[in-house]
Amino acid sequence: MDCVDLDALEHQARAKMAPASYAFCACGADDEISLAESLDAWRSLRLRPRVLRDVTAIDTTASILGQTMPTPIMVAPTGRHKLFHPEGERATARGAAAANVPYVIASNSNVLLEDVAAERKSAPQWFQLYYWPNVAEVEALIDRIAAAGFSALVLTVDAPVPGWAPMAAREQHEPSPDIRNINMPGQPMARTAYHPDFVGKVMYPATWRELEWLVKRSPMPVLVKGVLRADDAVACVEHGASAVIVSNHGGRHLDTTVTTAAAVAEIAPALKGKAEVYVDGGIRRGTDILKALALGANAVLIGRPAIWGLTVAGADGVRDVLEHFRIELVRAMQLTGTASIADATRDLLAL
């Protein structure tokens, strides 16, 4: 699969998707301002390349939750992958494993978490968790996740109620017994959150109390995803979180938020020496990854581009997208005189 131009890859994926599937993948909240600005924020940052550095050998190894990985790249949690490929998250996991990239499976995946775990190989897998009101159901799921060998829980905290995405609301996919949120209580048929039935409904009522409980109850590290403020990030770590993912949910729930590029620039210094920081939202180039690292992130997560690759070529497409990002990162490091991830410091950027 040729994914040199990710815009072209998105067009190829759209041509293969049902209209409702594309709307679910592509949508942003309200006027889609955050969706657009997330990409623009990375593009608007300017690099200050160093010259006369030895770049014959580039070291892209990075610390991800304390584990050394070959690249600072992960696959972000995105839901309902059977809307994009018949194998769903199983193919996504296989592609991530082939690229030796950590994969964060979503709560609302359409494949049993045990089947996703079977594709793991040497690449870590984490589980993205929404906190449901029924604690017994959460506990049962945690035990399944642990038994399947997942190495971290990622608690998403930025969508206690659904936002509103007009594109997805207009193109509702028809619920099907073949496409279920199979790891959720009751295995409900998959529906999007952008439906009048869910407006204003508090679906995932996590608070600091629930975070503390989850840290104590979980046999694996707990991360918090959806943080856009330094004070919240510090509080997450004080309440036991092992790391923070700076995210605005892909611009899908609350419009006109601060961009993740701006937020990670504030959060990373606040957590330096305390916890690792990861960031997602609008990463489309190897230069974007390098900029995120220069702002203090330990790694980035790739969302929509992985789905485009999945749609076009299944597991091979996911692998190719991740390899494309790796190649671009190496080239960006070579052209900026950055021989290792440790050399990606803030002075690389014109701030």
Domain containing 202 equals 6-280+287-343
Looking at the domain assignment, is residue 173 inside a domain? yes
Distance CA 351, CA 349 (A): 6
User: Both tokens of residue 153?
Assistant: 């829980």
Q: What is the pLDDT of residue 243?
A: 98
Sign of CA dihedral 156, 162, 167, 170: positive
User: Both tokens of residue 114?
Assistant: 């045990």
- Cβ neighbors of 274 (< 8 A, separation 6 or more) are 234, 237
Q: Quote the Cα angle for 326-95-140, to 5°.
A: 120
Looking at the domain assignment, is residue 350 inside a domain? no
Tell me, yes or no, if the pTM score tops 0.85: yes
Looking at the domain assignment, is residue 1 inside a domain? no
Q: Which of 85, 249, 253, 324 is catalytic?
A: 249
User: Both tokens of residue 214?
Assistant: 């989850």
Looking at the domain assignment, is residue 76 inside a domain? yes
Distance CA 288, CA 282 (A): 9
The reply to whether 249 belongs to the active site is yes
Looking at the domain assignment, is residue 42 inside a domain? yes
Q: Beta strands 299-302 and 103-105: pairing type? A: unpaired
Distance CA 292, CA 43 (A): 11
Q: What is the pLDDT of residue 177?
A: 83
Looking at the domain assignment, is residue 43 inside a domain? yes
Mean pLDDT by 10 residues, the chain (351 residues): 79 96 95 97 98 98 96 97 97 98 97 98 96 91 98 96 88 83 84 73 84 97 98 98 97 97 98 97 97 98 98 97 97 98 98 86
Q: What is the pLDDT of residue 1?
A: 60
Q: What is the pLDDT of residue 117?
A: 98
H or E stretch covering 310: helix 304-335
CATH number for position 201: 3.20.20.70
Q: What is the pLDDT of residue 200?
A: 66
Looking at the domain assignment, is residue 318 inside a domain? yes
Looking at the domain assignment, is residue 351 inside a domain? no
How many domains in the chain?
1
Distance CA 83, CA 18 (A): 8
- Cβ neighbors of 99 (< 8 A, separation 6 or more) are 73, 123, 318, 319, 322, 323, 326
